[in-house]
Amino acid sequence: MKKLVTWTVQIVLLGAFFLGCWDPSLAGIDRGPLADFGMVFDNLYMVAYALATPVIVVVQALGLDQLLPPEFFPSLTADALHKSVLAYGYSIESTEITEFAKMVISSDTYSGAAVLWFPLAALFYALVFAVVGPVYDKVHNVVWNVVVEYLFHRKKAKQYERELERRKGEMEQINDKIYSLAQETNSLRDSVITDEMTKTYNKRFFLNQMVNVFEECRTNNEKLSLIMLDIDHFKKLNDGYGHVVGDEVLKEVAKVLRRFTPEQCWACRFGGEEFGIIVPRREFEDATEIARAFQEHVQALRFPHIDDKLRVTIS
C-alpha cells in the first residue's frame, strides 16, 4: 500500500513534467519551442537551493515538524536534493537512446538519468521520498497501533465481560446462600426465644429482657410495669376436657396477648398457664388498662367446636 501511494505520486508528477517539458531532440525529433528551455531545466538545481527556505517555512507553518519527530521527517534542504541526485544519477550523454527508452519504462527511471537530466524531477523525487514516505509511515504506524490497541482492548473487554458474568453468577449464588443462612439464623434465633406452643416469647427471653429493660429504665429514670397473669382453674380445665383442649385454650389466650400487646412491650409465657407482659416507659394507669383489656378479650373467647358453655378467664 505504501509503495502504491509513493509510486502513484511520482508517476503523476513526473508524467505531467515529461509530457510538457522534455527535450524532443533526445528522441530524434525536430527541435521545437520547448527545446530552447534546456538551459532553464539545467539551472533548476539553483532553484532547488532557493526553495530550501520556503519549504522549511511551509513545513513549520503547517506544523509538520511538530507532528513528526526528526527521524521521521528529514530536512528538505537543497543539499539533500542534490545528494539524492548524485547518489542515483549518471550522465545521459553516455546512454544510447534505446537504453534511455528502456529506462523510461523501468522502475529505475525516476532515480536514474531522467532525474539527472531533469532537475525538477529530482525535486519531485526528493519531496516524494522525503515527505510522502515518512508521513505515510508515521500515519500507517499510528493507525496500525490504534487498530492493534483497539483489538487488544476489545479482546480484553470481552474477557472481562465473561469474567464479570461468571463473577455475577457466583455472587448471586453467594447472595442466595447468605439469604438462606440469614433465614435459618432468624429461624434459629426465634426458636431459641419463642415458646413453641403459644408462639409468644419464652421464659429465657422474658428473664433476659426484663434485666435489660430494668437497667435501661433505671438509668433513664423511666417507669417500668410488669403484668403477670395466669389462666383461672386451668388444672380443672385440663382434668375435665383433657390436655389437648388445655393446649388449645393456651394457644387462644396467647393469640389475644400477642394481638393486644402494645409496641415496645413483650408478651411472654413464663411457664405452664402463666404469662408475663413487660411494659416499660408507661404510667401505672396505662399498664392497668392493658391488663383489663387482656381480661375482657380473653373472656370474650368462645370454643364452639369444644363446648359452647366453655369460658376462660385470667387473673
Q: Name the β-bridge partners of 231.
A: 314
> pLDDT tens digits, residue range 270-295?
888 999 999 999 888 999 999 999 99
Q: How far apart are CA 78 and CA 64, in angstroms?
A: 19
| Residue 43 pLDDT grade (very low, low, confident, very high; cuts 50, 70, 90) | very low
Angle at CA of residue 41, ends 35 and 45, nearest 5°? 170
Residue 191 reports pLDDT greater than 90: no
If one compares 293 and 187, the residue with the highest pLDDT of the two is 293
- Strand 224-230: give its sheet, edge to edge: 224-230, 274-280, 266-271
Q: Which pLDDT score is estimated for 192?
A: 82
> pLDDT tens digits, residue range 193-245?
888 888 899 999 999 999 999 999 999 999 999 999 999 998 888 888 888 88
- Tell me the H-state helices in 118-202: 119-127, 133-193
Q: Which pLDDT score is estimated for 225?
A: 92
Q: Is 229 helix (H, G, I), strand (E, B) or coil?
A: strand
Buried b / exposed e over 144-159, threshold 16 CB at 10 Å, is: eeeeeeeeeeeeeeee
CATH tag, 203-299: 3.30.70.270
Q: How far apart are CA 55 and CA 76, in angstroms?
A: 7
Q: Is 76 helix (H, G, I), strand (E, B) or coil?
A: coil
**Beta carbons within 8 Å of 114's beta carbon, 6+ residues apart:** 14, 18, 103, 104, 121
What residue has cell string 530524434? 28
Residue 158 reports pLDDT greater than 60: yes
Q: How far apart are CA 314 and CA 185, in angstroms?
A: 35
Rounded mean pLDDT, 78-92: 44
| Residue 304 pLDDT grade (very low, low, confident, very high; cuts 50, 70, 90) | confident
Q: pTM of the entire structure?
A: 0.46
**Beta carbons within 8 Å of 63's beta carbon, 6+ residues apart:** none
Q: How far apart are CA 135 and CA 9, in angstroms?
A: 13
| Residue 126 pLDDT grade (very low, low, confident, very high; cuts 50, 70, 90) | low
Cell output for 259: 394481638
Indicate where the chain has its CATH 3.30.70.270 domain(s): 203-299
234 close to 244: Cβ distance less than 8 angstroms: no
CA distances from 197 to 26, 174, 187 (A): 123, 34, 15
| Residue 49 pLDDT grade (very low, low, confident, very high; cuts 50, 70, 90) | very low
